[in-house]
Amino acid sequence: MPELQRLRAEHAPALLAFEQENRAFFAASVPDRGDDYFTHFAARHAERLAEQATGACHFHVLVAEDGSEILGRFNLVDVADSAAELGFRLAEKATGRGLATTTVRDLFTLCTTTYALTKLRAGATLTNTASRSVLTRTGFVPTGEELLLGGKRGVGYVRELGGQEHVSDAV
């Protein structure tokens, strides 16, 4: 089973490869990071680690069982008042196996036991049915808030934490 790990400096080469290999796949449903992201990846990675050190964000990668590659990113950003914004992306070759749903659920435990979070917010573009399904399966509910995500229409979600971290797929 792949392992969720807190982002570290040594993840940089595998993370860059993950982003490059999946760029077109991601751009079909989420805003593209742009060429500048890839050109200045090393500096951005260092910035994310510095930001994480302050507690303002918690970045995670889903690492393949053999440790050879990154299969996904699961980030908690804008941490404040026991709440954070969840963002995630999964490699195209890792989709359809329930990894995103399982990893989001695993992240709930970290949220409550390690980061003292009681609420998560998330957003997904209307065209990103996979992410919207993961959010629904893991107990997020639409807020009714319409979002604009990189120029694409989206919807906001919220999930209260504490005692219901493992919601069944029937939800």
The predicted-structure confidence for 78-87, as pLDDT tens digits, reads as follows: 999 999 999 9
Domain count, the chain: 1
Whole-number pLDDT of residue 167: 44
* CATH number for position 134: 3.40.630.30
Residue type, 68: S
pLDDT at 100: 97
- Whether the per-residue pLDDT at 163 is higher than 80: the answer is no
Whether 10 has a pLDDT exceeding 80, the answer reads yes
Residue 167 lies in a domain: no
Task: Provide the 10 A C-beta neighbour count for residue 124.
Answer: 27
pLDDT(164) > 70: no
Residue 171, in any domain of the structure:
no
Please, are residues 138 and 167 in contact by the beta-carbon 8 Å criterion? yes
Identify the domain containing residue 115 by its residue range: 3-160
Cα–Cα distance for residue pair 19/15, rounded to 1 Å: 6
In a domain, 147, yes or no: yes
Segment among 116-120, 161-165, 167-171 with least mean pLDDT: 167-171
Range in 3-7, 83-87, 137-141, 143-147 with the lowest mean pLDDT: 143-147
Say if 125 falls within a structural domain.
Answer: yes
